[in-house]
Amino acid sequence: MTDQDGAGPEWFHREHGGKVPKGEDSRPPNQAITGMWTKCDGCSEFLRNEDLEENLQVCPQCSHHHRVAAHVRLEAIVDDGTLEERDLDLTSTDPLGFVDSKPYPQRLASAIAKTRENSAFIYGLATINGRQVAIGTFNFAFMGGSMWSVLGEKVTRLFELSLEQNCPAIIINASGGARMQEGVLSLMQMARSTAALARIRDAGIPYISVLTHPTTGGVAASFAMLGDVHLAEPLALIGFAGPRVIEQTIRQVLPEGFQRSEFLSEHGMIDQIVDRRELRSRITTILSLLLD
């Protein structure tokens, strides 16, 4: 199919809003078509990017949850204009002089340039339906949301802020685990953040943990799974080691859906599976039940 100038079917992709037939395009899953379309990882339908954005990156056809930007996620939960972000300029140094295929400072610089953020965690004070909360979210686009000294410091400060303001703490988790470039300094953040969480628990302040895809490694092994309430997005991978690593270690085939939200819900590991579009209202209800 060509237009009058002999060009390909570019008009079909860009101007007339038609559906791109399955099999017509050979691009890998979730790659944009002409800057306006995305192929859904769940149902393989081609979706307008603007429709995905309006739907918080949830497919309107099959409800598959695509990745969503950290600030977009927070803005969808808190009251408009209420987020007071803390420690925006906090970033890491290179304590171990770590070099793999490239020096650690170069990896940090690339992540900062890509995300326009200084770390993999954003937090601050905000309100949800008029109720003050200390809230934070991982930015998975920043080196896989990996836990490092700065991230651990910011999570610890979030819990300390919750204690200082006597308001609930909420964290939206998405992490591949501890960051190898900082070695044991990354691993010790598990203990630091958990100790701070224990102090708000002793004060009777609620903590809601939201588990998104993926929540793994040291984050899953510490504060992510220590909430008073655990909410999870559909089909999120949640666990310490990944299923392939576990299968190779124990030399057994794992059950279907192992470590996904639905599997964890069936086994009592999480409280509710919540569609991203309903998360604000669900958190509002939970806070009312816990505090009113």
Using the predicted structure, report yes or no on whether residue 1 has a pLDDT greater than 50. no
The pTM of this model reads 0.86
Angle between helices 279-291 and 70-77 (to 10 degrees): 50
Tell me the average pLDDT across 212-222: 96
pLDDT band at 79 (very low <50, low <70, confident <90, very high): very high
pLDDT for 69 equals 94
pLDDT for 34 equals 54
Using the predicted structure, report yes or no on whether residue 274 has a pLDDT greater than 60. yes
pLDDT for 242 equals 85
Using the predicted structure, report yes or no on whether residue 213 has a pLDDT greater than 70. yes
Tell me the average pLDDT across 23-47: 70
Model pLDDT for residues 47-65, shown as the tens digit of each residue: 999 999 999 999 999 999 9
Kindly report the average pLDDT of the chain as a whole number: 89
Using the predicted structure, report yes or no on whether residue 16 has a pLDDT greater than 60. no
Using the predicted structure, report yes or no on whether residue 170 has a pLDDT greater than 50. yes
Model pLDDT for residues 89-117, shown as the tens digit of each residue: 998 889 899 999 999 999 999 999 999 99
Cα separation values, 101 from 107, 110, 120, 181, 257, Å: 10, 14, 21, 12, 34
In the chain, which residues fall in CATH 3.90.226.10?
70-291
pLDDT for 15 equals 39
Q: Which residues contact 199 (CB under 8 A, 6 or more apart)?
A: 159, 160, 163
Using the predicted structure, report yes or no on whether residue 246 has a pLDDT greater than 80. yes
Using the predicted structure, report yes or no on whether residue 243 has a pLDDT greater than 90. no
Using the predicted structure, report yes or no on whether residue 8 has a pLDDT greater than 50. no
pLDDT for 86 equals 97
Model pLDDT for residues 153-168, shown as the tens digit of each residue: 999 999 999 999 999 9
Spatial separation of the C-alpha atoms in residues 181 and 93, rounded to whole Å: 11
Say if residues 71 and 123 touch (Cβ distance below 8 Å). Answer: no
The arrangement of secondary structure in 70-291, i.e. its CATH architecture, is Alpha-Beta Complex (3.90)
Using the predicted structure, report yes or no on whether residue 24 has a pLDDT greater than 70. no
Angle between helices 183-202 and 149-165 (to 10 degrees): 10
Query: pLDDT > 70: what percent of the chain?
Result: 88
